[in-house]
A and B are shown apart, each in its own frame.
Chain A
Amino acid sequence: MARDFSWIRPEPWGIHVVPADCWIDPSRPVDRALVTHGHADHARGGHGSTFATPETLAIMKLRYATEAGAVPVPYGERIALPGGVAATWIPAGHVLGSAQILLEHAGERIVVTGDFKRRPDPTCPPFEVTPCDVLITEATFGLPVFRHPPVEQEIAKLLSALAANPERCVLVGAYALGKAQRLIAELRRAGHRDTIWLHGAMERMCRLYEDWGIDLGPLRLVSEAGKGELAGAIIVAPPSALNDRWSRRLPDPITAMASGWMQVRQRARQRMVELPLVISDHADWNELTQTVVEVNPAETWITHGREEAMLRWCQLNQRKARALALVGYEDEDD
Chain B
Amino acid sequence: MEEFAALLDALVYTRSRNAKLKLLADYLRSTPDPDRGWALAALTDGLDFPAVKSSTIRNLLMERIDPVLWTLSREYVGDSAETASLLWPEPTEAPSPPTVAEAVDALSRMTRATVMAELPRLLDRLDGNGRYALLKLATGAMRIGISARLAKTAFAQAFDVSVEDVEEHWHGQAPPYTALFDWAAHGAEPPNADDIPLFRPFMLAHGLEDTQVDLADYAAEWKWDGIRVQVVRAGGATRVYSRSGDDISATFPEIAEALHIDAVLDGELLVRGAHQGGEEGGAASFNALQQRLGRKTVSKKMREEYPAFVRLYDALIVEGKDLRPRPWSERRMALEALVPQLDPARFDLSAVIAAADFAELSAIRERARDDAIEGVMLKRRDSPYVAGRRTGLWYKWKRDPLLVDCVLMYAQRGSGKRSSFYSDYTFGCWDGDPDEGADLLPVGKAYFGFTDEELKWLDRYVRNHTVNRFGPVRETDRSLVFEVAFDSVHVSKRHKSGVAMRFPRISRIRTDKPAHEADRMDTLRKLIRD
A273 interface hit (Cβ, 8 Å): yes
Stretch from B81-89, B373-381, B424-432, B476-484 that touches the partner = B81-89
B419 nearest in chain A by CB position: A272
Given contacts A247-B420, A265-B12, are A143 and B73 in contact (CB under 8 A)? yes
Given contacts A247-B420, A316-B66, are A147 and B86 in contact (CB under 8 A)? yes
Q: Is the CB of B68 within 8 A of A145?
A: no
A152 interface hit (Cβ, 8 Å): no
Which of chain B's residues have a CB closer than 8 A to the CB of A264? 76-78, 82, 86
Q: Is the CB of B73 within 8 A of A144?
A: yes
Closest chain A CB from B271 CB (angstroms) = 39
Given contacts A263-B86, A306-B72, are A144 and B13 in contact (CB under 8 A)? no
Known: A145-B86, A308-B72. 20 other contacts (CB 8 A): A143-B76, A145-B73, A243-B420, A245-B420, A264-B77, A264-B78, A264-B86, A265-B12, A265-B79, A268-B13, A269-B12, A269-B13, A274-B13, A274-B15, A276-B13, A306-B72, A309-B73, A312-B68, A312-B72, A313-B69
Interface string of B66-106 (1 = CB under 8 A from A): 10110011001111001100110010000000000000000
Please measure, in the bound complex, the distance between the C-alpha atom of A266 and the C-alpha atom of B66, giving whole angstroms. Answer: 24
A270 interface hit (Cβ, 8 Å): yes
Which of chain A's residues have a CB closer than 8 A to the CB of B65? 144
B12 nearest in chain A by CB position: A265
Closest chain A CB from B26 CB (angstroms) = 12
Q: Is the CB of B73 within 8 A of A266?
A: no
Q: Is the CB of A265 within 8 A of B82?
A: yes
From A144, A243, A312, residue with most partner B Cβ within 10 Å: A144
A43 interface hit (Cβ, 8 Å): no
Taking CB atoms and an 8 Å cut-off, the chain A residues in 237-293 that contact chain B are 243, 245, 247-248, 263-266, 268-270, 272-276
Q: Is the CB of B420 within 8 A of A309?
A: no
Taking CB atoms and an 8 Å cut-off, the chain B residues in 22-81 that contact chain A are 65-66, 68-69, 72-73, 76-79
Please measure, in the bound complex, the distance between the C-alpha atom of A264 and the C-alpha atom of B73, giving whole angstroms. Answer: 11
Closest chain B CB from A262 CB (angstroms) = 10
Closest chain B CB from A219 CB (angstroms) = 26
Closest chain A CB from B471 CB (angstroms) = 7
- Which residues of chain B have a CB within 8 Å of any CB of chain A? 12-15, 65-66, 68-69, 72-73, 76-79, 82-83, 86-87, 90, 413, 419-420, 471-472
9 A-B pairs within 8 Å (CB atoms) are namely: A144-B69, A243-B420, A263-B86, A264-B77, A266-B78, A269-B12, A270-B472, A274-B14, A309-B68
Please measure, in the bound complex, the distance between the C-alpha atom of A308 and the C-alpha atom of B75, giving whole angstroms. Answer: 12
Q: Is the CB of B82 within 8 A of A306?
A: no
Given contacts A243-B420, A265-B82, A266-B78, are A143 and B13 in contact (CB under 8 A)? no
A315 nearest in chain B by CB position: B68
B68 nearest in chain A by CB position: A312
Q: Is the CB of A248 within 8 A of B420?
A: yes
Which of chain A's residues have a CB closer than 8 A to the CB of B77? 145, 264, 266
B14 nearest in chain A by CB position: A274
Please measure, in the bound complex, the distance between the C-alpha atom of A308 and the C-alpha atom of B69, giving whole angstroms. Answer: 9
Please measure, in the bound complex, the distance between the C-alpha atom of A145 and the C-alpha atom of B88, giving whole angstroms. Answer: 9
Closest chain B CB from A325 CB (angstroms) = 18
- Which residues of chain A have a CB within 8 Å of any CB of chain B? 143-147, 243, 245, 247-248, 263-266, 268-270, 272-276, 306, 308-309, 312-313, 316
Please measure, in the bound complex, the distance between the C-alpha atom of A8 and the C-alpha atom of B73, giving whole angstroms. Answer: 32
Nearest first, the 6 closest Cβ-Cβ pairs linking A and B are: A145-B86, A145-B73, A309-B72, A274-B13, A312-B68, A266-B78
Closest chain A CB from B246 CB (angstroms) = 27
Please measure, in the bound complex, the distance between the C-alpha atom of A144 and the C-alpha atom of B85, giving whole angstroms. Answer: 11
From B13, B65, B79, B90, residue with most partner A Cβ within 10 Å: B13
Please measure, in the bound complex, the distance between the C-alpha atom of A144 and the C-alpha atom of B420, giving whole angstroms. Answer: 35
A268 nearest in chain B by CB position: B13
Given contacts A268-B13, A270-B471, A276-B13, are A145 and B76 in contact (CB under 8 A)? yes
Please measure, in the bound complex, the distance between the C-alpha atom of A208 and the C-alpha atom of B419, giving whole angstroms. Answer: 36
Closest chain A CB from B10 CB (angstroms) = 9
Please measure, in the bound complex, the distance between the C-alpha atom of A288 and the C-alpha atom of B69, giving whole angstroms. Answer: 15
Which of chain B's residues have a CB closer than 8 A to the CB of A306? 72, 76
Which of chain B's residues have a CB closer than 8 A to the CB of A266? 77-79, 82
Q: Is the CB of B413 within 8 A of A145?
A: no
Which of chain A's residues have a CB closer than 8 A to the CB of B68? 309, 312
Given contacts A145-B83, A145-B86, A274-B13, are A243 and B69 in contact (CB under 8 A)? no
Please measure, in the bound complex, the distance between the C-alpha atom of A309 and the C-alpha atom of B69, giving whole angstroms. Answer: 6
Closest chain A CB from B449 CB (angstroms) = 15
Please measure, in the bound complex, the distance between the C-alpha atom of A276 and the C-alpha atom of B79, giving whole angstroms. Answer: 18
Please measure, in the bound complex, the distance between the C-alpha atom of A155 and the C-alpha atom of B79, giving whole angstroms. Answer: 27
Closest chain A CB from B491 CB (angstroms) = 35
Which of chain B's residues have a CB closer than 8 A to the CB of A144? 65, 69, 73, 87
Which of chain A's residues have a CB closer than 8 A to the CB of B82? 264-266
A276 nearest in chain B by CB position: B13
Closest chain B CB from A274 CB (angstroms) = 5
Please measure, in the bound complex, the distance between the C-alpha atom of A275 and the C-alpha atom of B87, giving whole angstroms. Answer: 22
Please measure, in the bound complex, the distance between the C-alpha atom of A263 and the C-alpha atom of B471, giving whole angstroms. Answer: 19
Please measure, in the bound complex, the distance between the C-alpha atom of A274 and the C-alpha atom of B12, giving whole angstroms. Answer: 8
Which of chain A's residues have a CB closer than 8 A to the CB of B86? 145-147, 263-264
Which of chain B's residues have a CB closer than 8 A to the CB of A274? 13-15
Which of chain A's residues have a CB closer than 8 A to the CB of B420? 243, 245, 247-248
Which of chain B's residues have a CB closer than 8 A to the CB of A248? 420
Please measure, in the bound complex, the distance between the C-alpha atom of A245 and the C-alpha atom of B66, giving whole angstroms. Answer: 46
Which of chain B's residues have a CB closer than 8 A to the CB of A316? 66
The listed residue (B13, B79, B472) touching A275 by CB distance below 8 A is B13
Please measure, in the bound complex, the distance between the C-alpha atom of A205 and the C-alpha atom of B1, giving whole angstroms. Answer: 43
Closest chain B CB from A133 CB (angstroms) = 27
A145 nearest in chain B by CB position: B86
Please measure, in the bound complex, the distance between the C-alpha atom of A84 and the C-alpha atom of B167, giving whole angstroms. Answer: 82
Please measure, in the bound complex, the distance between the C-alpha atom of A309 and the C-alpha atom of B83, giving whole angstroms. Answer: 15
Which of chain B's residues have a CB closer than 8 A to the CB of A268? 13
Please measure, in the bound complex, the distance between the C-alpha atom of A248 and the C-alpha atom of B83, giving whole angstroms. Answer: 35
Please measure, in the bound complex, the distance between the C-alpha atom of A84 and the C-alpha atom of B282, giving whole angstroms. Answer: 94
Which of chain A's residues have a CB closer than 8 A to the CB of B15? 272, 274
Q: Is the CB of B87 within 8 A of A145?
A: yes
Closest chain A CB from B133 CB (angstroms) = 12
A264 nearest in chain B by CB position: B77
Which of chain B's residues have a CB closer than 8 A to the CB of A265? 12-13, 79, 82
B70 nearest in chain A by CB position: A144
Q: Is the CB of B72 within 8 A of A143?
A: yes
Which of chain B's residues have a CB closer than 8 A to the CB of A313? 69
Closest chain A CB from B23 CB (angstroms) = 11
From B12, B66, B69, residue with most partner A Cβ within 10 Å: B69
B90 nearest in chain A by CB position: A147
From A247, A264, A275, residue with most partner B Cβ within 10 Å: A264
Please measure, in the bound complex, the distance between the C-alpha atom of A273 and the C-alpha atom of B9, giving whole angstroms. Answer: 12
Closest chain B CB from A71 CB (angstroms) = 40
Which of chain A's residues have a CB closer than 8 A to the CB of B76? 143, 145, 264, 306
Please measure, in the bound complex, the distance between the C-alpha atom of A272 and the C-alpha atom of B13, giving whole angstroms. Answer: 8
Please measure, in the bound complex, the distance between the C-alpha atom of A152 and the C-alpha atom of B77, giving whole angstroms. Answer: 25
Which of chain A's residues have a CB closer than 8 A to the CB of B14? 274
